[in-house]
Amino acid sequence: MNTKLHAVTDAEGRPIRFFMTAGQVSDYTGAAALLGSLPKAEWLLADRGYDADWFREALKDKGIRPCIPGRKSRGKPIKYDKRRYKRRNRIEIMFGRLKDWRRVATRYDRSPKVFLSAVALAAAVMFWL
């Protein structure tokens, strides 16, 4: 069983929202699902998997400036703030801290709903309590 966890965090790297997709599904699916529930923000930092023109336009419509590097297969390179993009490591640190919980790291739960609940519980205890 393979899943992909998409997360929205605040500026300090604390998770706000999660969405889970099947592992073989494109990141665009997670982006579309989380787009409607994005909090007010000045910037959105994301990796190359979220590089799509429709996603960039949707962010601009919400008043959020995207800081997403372009995919390597993109014909025309996309400009992004490289200094700001370095702060994306906070998101990777958040995922690493979630994996400190053995249940999350080893994926004991067969059901995606139960696994997502375990992730949410771990995030609440580690970052918000």
Domain assignments of the chain as residue spans, ordered by start: 3-128
pLDDT of residue 109: 86
Phi first, then psi, for residue 49 (nearest 5°) are: -60, -20
Q: Which residues contact 55 (CB under 8 A, 6 or more apart)?
A: 28, 31, 32, 35, 66, 68
pLDDT of residue 3: 87
* Torsion sign (Cα): 37, 43, 45, 51: positive
* pLDDT tens figures, 82-99: 999 999 999 999 999 999
Residues 63, 76: Cα–Cα separation, whole Å: 24
Per-residue pLDDT of the chain (129 residues; tens, 9 = 90+): 688 999 999 999 999 999 999 989 999 999 999 999 899 999 999 999 999 999 999 999 999 999 999 998 888 889 999 999 999 999 999 999 999 999 999 988 888 999 999 999 999 999 998
CATH architecture of 3-128: 2-Layer Sandwich (3.30)
As a dihedral over the C-alpha atoms of residue 79, residue 82, residue 72, residue 92, rounded to 10 degrees, the angle is: -140
Angle at the Cα of 97 from the Cα atoms of 92 and 99, rounded to 5 degrees: 100
pLDDT of residue 23: 87
pLDDT of residue 1: 62
Q: Which residues contact 99 (CB under 8 A, 6 or more apart)?
A: 105
